[in-house]
């Protein structure tokens, strides 16, 4: 029989396989692989749970955002309504104030007009009384009386014009 290198390689191979089987290396490798597979499955399950939790949190936050948007819209609508009501109220108050001022001004004008009429009447009466006094004092004859009367009328007219200006 020829013992060559192939023989020794074959014998070494079988011894190696025997040692592996004797020390239960394939079982240990199998157990290690199964343990790794189990760890990977657990990590996948945990990742799926985290993914579901994330989806739930996302849905919850989207609902909160939607509710917040609705609340903001309601607040803006209410603020717009309030602003519009305030503008209308302020406008109405302004018009009432201006109407009152207009009435007050018209009343004041009437009062001033009446006062001016009274002043003119009083001045006319005073001038007429003075004219009559002059006439009575200077009543010597008819021609002088006519002259005095004419001049008194002219003085009255001038005085009235001055008072009305």
Contacts of 124 (CB under 8 A, 6+ apart): 156, 159, 160
pTM of the model: 0.43
State what percent of residues in the chain have pLDDT above 90: 57
Range of the domain at 134: 42-164
Total domains present in the chain: 1
**Other residues' Cβ atoms within 10 Å of the Cβ of residue 153:** 13
Give the C-alpha separation, 133 to 121, whole Å: 18
pLDDT in tens, 25-49: 888 889 999 999 999 999 999 999 9
Q: Are 20 and 26 in contact (CB under 8 A)?
A: yes
Residue 13 lies in a domain: no
Residue 24 lies in a domain: no
Q: Are 131 and 155 in contact (CB under 8 A)?
A: yes
Residue 150 lies in a domain: yes
- Helix (H/G/I), strand (E/B), else coil: 165: coil
Residue 4 lies in a domain: no
């Amino acid at each position: 029989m020829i013992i060559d290198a192939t023989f020794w390689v074959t014998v070494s191979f079988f011894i190696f396989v025997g040692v592996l089987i004797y020390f239960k290396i394939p079982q240990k490798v199998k157990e290690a692989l199964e343990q790794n597979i189990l760890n990977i499955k657990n990590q996948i399950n945990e990742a799926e749970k985290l993914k579901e939790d994330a989806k739930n949190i996302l849905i919850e936050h989207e609902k909160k955002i939607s509710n917040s948007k609705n609340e903001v819209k309601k607040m803006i609508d209410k603020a717009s309504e309030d602003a519009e009501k305030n503008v209308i109220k302020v406008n109405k108050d302004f018009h009432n104030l201006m109407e009152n001022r207009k009435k007050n001004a018209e009343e004041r004008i009437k009062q001033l007009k009446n006062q001016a009429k009274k002043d003119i009447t009083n001045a006319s009466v005073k001038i007429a009384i003075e004219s009559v006094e002059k006439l009575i004092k200077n009543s010597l004859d008819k021609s002088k009386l006519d002259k005095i009367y004419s001049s008194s009328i002219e003085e009255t007219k001038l005085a009235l014009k001055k008072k009305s200006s």
